Amino acid sequence: MERRKFIKKTTLTSLAALIGTEIVFGSNMLKNYKPLALQETDPFKLFSLDSEMVVLNDKPWNIEAKAHLLDDKITPSSKMFIRNNGLIPTEIDEQNWTLTIDGESVKNKTTFTLNDLKTKFKEYTYQLTLECGGNGRSEFDPPAKGNQWTVGAVSCATWTGVRLKDVLEAVGIKNDAVYIGYHAADTHLSGDPSKEPISRGAPMSKALEDETLIAYKMNGKKIPVAHGFPLRLVAGGWPASVSGKWINRISIRNIEHDGTKMTGTAYRVPKFPVAPGEKVKDEDMKIIESMPVKSLITYPKSGAIIKKGDSLAIRGHAWAGDLEVAKMEYSIDFGATWHQASIEKPVNRLAWQHFSAKINFPKVGYYEVWARATDSNNIAQPMLLPGWNPKGYLNNACHRIAIKVK
């Protein structure tokens, strides 16, 4: 019995966090034993997903929602898209997790524990829209490489943590600071520890916004492991790849951050319009920043059937990157005419907004309901696919659902 090596308390805590509940009798497990729950390869069980979620890739995990699953005003984790670039870390020790702030443009390199962040800084909660830059990629022709997202790689959960600006103010940033870059604990698909799966960032102007958080809670609870437990950077309104998961270091840069997936064509679009299929030089590409205006009909489900004479109530969400949605419209005649829908103000900046309308149809037959949002700069969604780009980013074409009147 003395030769048996029992699991350490810190490791047990880590495993319990990954599973999402206490491991009863966990102290009896042998060292290096991996609970069956963590050997699970079914993503619906592993991540407690709704049964209608769609798995696009398993190495790494990339999973999206269907439009009607996103009807909640606050997205629950069971219906939240998962976009990973590497392997989810399995060795997470929450009690000893640290975040280091370093880089060429930091005055005082500093390492914070989770407890430091929670006790030394004021806590904030915001509802923030996160959308994959490639959401809608499946519609591009010729096809673009990458996960063939349809419309479900978007979410708007509540995030709780400390403002990045407060942490940066505490450590001090030099006058030449222009960018931040995050580093994290996920593993490269090759297993090579010297390679980072992803290390992106944002200009200082975005880093210093009130709503840019170093978050440790999602929807009032610990962040699920698939979404970055125990610590995640959250920068709403920009591509979700800016919101790094499992972060353990943030570098303050005096140059545009040059980490993995910050160079070449990654999360970049052409500076000028190009013909479909045309090759674009790296120097002619620009980094995606604020996401474009977009909307999603979440009720009813496409294919709904209603009786002649009945009206149809629709609802959904709209968002516009760093901006607000100023106007929401719908069409039932393929965009020939548009009608006003009601649109609510966001609960806070960078949260999506909820729209609704009641529609009457003139006769029996097949219809499509199209939704179109217009942002506060008076830019509206295109009715169909916007300009083609090599990586299939930023498709903000009008969402549409099919309706039959019988």
Residue 48 lies in a domain: no
Residue 5: pLDDT over 70: no
CA–CA distance, 256 with 265 (Å, rounded to integer): 15
pLDDT value at residue 2 = 42
- Is residue 311 located within the same domain as residue 251? no
pLDDT value at residue 31 = 74
Closest CA to 164 of 78, 226, 99, 223: 99
CA–CA distance, 241 with 130 (Å, rounded to integer): 9
CA–CA distance, 123 with 214 (Å, rounded to integer): 10
- Is residue 202 located within the same domain as residue 331? no
What confidence tens digit (pLDDT) does each residue in 196-235 have?
999 999 999 999 999 999 999 999 999 999 999 999 999 9
Phi, psi of 133 (to 5 degrees): -60, -25
Are 246 and 232 contacting, i.e. CB atoms less than 8 angstroms apart? yes
CA–CA distance, 8 with 29 (Å, rounded to integer): 9
How many CB atoms are closer than 10 A to CB 204?
18
pLDDT value at residue 3 = 42
- Is residue 349 located within the same domain as residue 278? no
pLDDT value at residue 28 = 83
Q: Each residue of 276-287: b (16+ CB within 10 Å) or e?
A: eeeebeeeebeb
CA 320 to chain centre: 14
Q: For residue 9, what pLDDT band results from cuts at 50, 70 and 90? A: low
Residue 125: pLDDT over 50: yes
Which two structure tokens, joined as six digits, stand for 151?
Answer: 């419309």
pTM of the model: 0.90
What confidence tens digit (pLDDT) does each residue in 278-297 have?
999 999 999 999 999 999 99
- Is residue 129 located within the same domain as residue 158? yes
Closest CA to 135 of 213, 82, 188: 82
Q: What percent of the chain lies above the pLDDT cut of 70?
A: 94
What confidence tens digit (pLDDT) does each residue in 42-77 have?
899 989 999 999 999 999 999 999 999 999 999 999
| Residue that has been written with the tokens 């437990």 in this structure | 229
Residue 186 lies in a domain: yes
Are 396 and 136 contacting, i.e. CB atoms less than 8 angstroms apart? yes
CA distances from 303 to 68, 259, 324, 362 (A): 11, 44, 30, 18
Residue 74 lies in a domain: no
- Is residue 132 located within the same domain as residue 208? yes
- Is residue 207 located within the same domain as residue 302? no
266-286 average pLDDT score: 94
* DSSP run (H or E) holding 329: strand 325-331
Residue 124 lies in a domain: yes
Cis preceding-peptide flag for 300 (omega within 30 of 0): yes
What confidence tens digit (pLDDT) does each residue in 303-348 have?
999 999 999 999 999 999 999 999 999 999 999 999 999 999 999 9
Residue 362 lies in a domain: yes
- Is residue 263 located within the same domain as residue 326? no
- Is residue 185 located within the same domain as residue 227? yes
Pairing of strands 201-203, 232-234: unpaired
CA 52 to chain centre: 19
CA distances from 16 to 118, 135, 261, 283 (A): 21, 33, 32, 47
What is residue 9's three-state secondary structure? helix
Are 213 and 65 contacting, i.e. CB atoms less than 8 angstroms apart? no
What confidence tens digit (pLDDT) does each residue in 384-393 have?
999 899 999 9
Looking up residue 331, the CATH number of its domain turns out to be: 2.60.40.650
Closest CA to 252 of 319, 329, 174, 142: 174
How many CB atoms are closer than 10 A to CB 219?
18
What is the number of domains present in the chain?
A: 2
Domain-terminating residue out of 227, 261, 287: 287
Domain limits for position 234 = 94-287
Looking up residue 168, the CATH number of its domain turns out to be: 3.90.420.10
- Is residue 302 located within the same domain as residue 282? no
The arrangement of strands across the sheet holding 61-64 comes to 54-58, 61-64, 82-83
- Is residue 173 located within the same domain as residue 148? yes
What confidence tens digit (pLDDT) does each residue in 129-157 have?
999 999 999 999 999 999 999 999 999 99
pLDDT value at residue 399 = 98
- Is residue 262 located within the same domain as residue 372? no
What confidence tens digit (pLDDT) does each residue in 239-253 have?
999 999 999 999 999
Residue 262: pLDDT over 70: yes
Residue 62 lies in a domain: no
CA–CA distance, 305 with 283 (Å, rounded to integer): 50
Q: For residue 14, what pLDDT band results from cuts at 50, 70 and 90? A: low
- Is residue 234 located within the same domain as residue 304? no
Residue 171 lies in a domain: yes
What confidence tens digit (pLDDT) does each residue in 18-48 have?
666 788 888 888 776 777 766 657 899 989 9
Residue 164 lies in a domain: yes
Higher pLDDT residue, 179 or 91?
179
pLDDT value at residue 215 = 98
